[in-house]
Chain A
Amino acid sequence: MISGKLISAICYVLFAPLIGGLIDGIGRKISARMQRRVGPPLLQPFYDLGKLLHKDPVHVAPSQNFFMMSYLFFIVMTGGMMFLGMDILMCMFVLSTAVMFLYFAAVVTGSHYSAIGASRELLQMVAYEPCVLLTCVAFYLVRGSFETAEIIKGDVSPIVYLPGVFVAFIFILTIKMRKSPFDISTSHHPNQEIVKGITSEIGSRNFGIYTLAEWYETVFLLGMVALFIINSNPWSILAAVVVIALVYFLEILIDNTSARVKSDVMIKVSWAVTLVAAGFNILVLIFFLG
């Protein structure tokens, strides 16, 4: 059993960039089709990454290299811990640590644009963190454990007990993936009011590392979505893949049909959704289970 967990964690470290890059490529293709364009080839994200890593490494401050490597390291660790079946609350704390390194990589440069982007990244954290914590608590209420290895073991999928929490989690997923309307700290699309926000002063090679970390993070986050679906029945994994595909499509649809909102609107809306959907769900759960 332990070796099984280890294999899944190693698979994550090795293959998450491939899957994450492919998901990114599919996303860009679907976006293009939604805009009636042909769109880039499916493997475009890999071409981009290859190019970024081949360019002359420039950094605005030498410490940026350290911060970006740490960012990547902690993101990989987050996903690795989840696939090792470890404590999900711990994963989320490690993820927050990773974001802190990204924050520092942006603020050491002294550029206004990246400083604004960095402070907006913190605001994004403020917006999604309550929901993330409530999600962990909800899993604990359903399964009696924070460990992902235990969460996937029940007879019934957690989503049956946690529809409200699921809705809230999907909502904050848009913030976490930095997709429109919540792409306020940095944007996948160019020429926004703060250039590229938190990634403005990140040079080519470090931007490649950032891209890589983003792919790891995508796989981790979609893995979190899968936790809602997977139960002791092996077929539930297939169901989880279908749900992930639907969720990702929804994210792209929202990304393409909405304009960026202000940060205060983001915090208000995300807290409201968290409180109403996840909070109410958990109250009901406590009432019936407790």
Chain B
Amino acid sequence: MYKITRSPWVMHYDGSSCNGCDIEVLACLTPVYDAERFGIINTGDPLQADILLITGGINTQNAPVVKQLYDQMADPKVVVAVGVCACTGGVFKDCYNILGGADQVIPVDVYVPGCAARPQAIIDGIVKGIGVFQERLEKMEKGESLTDNKKAEETAESEDK
């Protein structure tokens, strides 16, 4: 079995965040936290990314964008929601245009709470995500279906309708 865990490439998407969490995501890459130690690279390209980091809530405008980014990523893939906004909608939850957390449009695997989430927590979340990632790869190599996540099926169904 191939160990895929050493090279998680992350793509960061900023939903409707206040930029607090985005700064913290970037802080992970600075010399202080140096996420590259674990092979974590912040790539801007969905086709080559393994982990989708979402900060900020989902609103009516960015929902299709997030969905498309997720669809463009190759399996196995993992979604990490960073900050309470991405988890639930956070302080913006009741705004007229906010749909809620990232799990409103795509299946989220790891929730990193915090306002703003601390860099340590973000790296921890990514490392948790790597575990999910390895599981998915093993499933994929055995030929099992990856869409065990009910959410994914639900969203797919609702789109069919």
Contacts and interface: CB of A to CB of B under 8 A. Distances in A.
Interface of A: 28, 32, 35-41, 44, 47-48, 50-52, 54-58, 60, 190-192, 195-196, 199-204, 207
Interface residues of B, number: 25
Contact of B75 (A55, A196, A199): A55
B4 to A, nearest CB: 5
Contacts of B137: 54
Contact of A40 (B4, B36, B140): B36
Interface in B34-52: 34, 36-39, 41-45, 47-48, 50
A190 B74 contact: no
15 contacts: A37-B36, A39-B34, A40-B39, A41-B39, A51-B9, A54-B4, A56-B75, A56-B76, A58-B47, A58-B74, A190-B42, A190-B44, A199-B45, A204-B47, A207-B48
A52 B48 contact: yes
Nearest to B37: A38
Contacts of B47: 58, 60, 200-204, 207
Given A36-B31, A47-B7, A190-B42, A196 B74 contact: no
Given A47-B39, A50-B7, A204 B48 contact: yes
Given A56-B140, A200-B47, A40 B37 contact: yes
Contacts of B74: 55-58, 203-204
Contacts of B6: 41, 44, 47, 51
Nearest to B75: A56
Contacts of A58: 47, 74
Interface in B9-60: 9, 31, 34, 36-39, 41-45, 47-48, 50
Nearest to B146: A56
B45 A195 contact: yes
A58 B49 CA distance: 12
B29 to A, nearest CB: 9
A260 B108 CA distance: 36
B7 A44 contact: yes
A215 to B, nearest CB: 16
A55 B37 contact: no
Given A48-B9, A51-B6, A51-B9, 4 more contacts: A40-B37, A44-B7, A56-B74, A207-B48
Contacts of A40: 36-39
B2 interface: yes
A214 to B, nearest CB: 14
A54 B140 CA distance: 10
B44 to A, nearest CB: 4
Contacts of A54: 2, 4, 137, 141
A271 to B, nearest CB: 31
Given A36-B31, A47-B39, A51-B7, A200 B76 contact: no
Contacts of B75: 55-56
A38 B36 CA distance: 8
Contacts of A207: 47-48
A196 B45 contact: yes
Which 3 pairs between the two chains have the least Cβ-Cβ distance? Answer: A47-B6, A56-B75, A191-B44
A40 B75 CA distance: 24
B37 A39 contact: yes
Contacts of B44: 190-192, 195-196
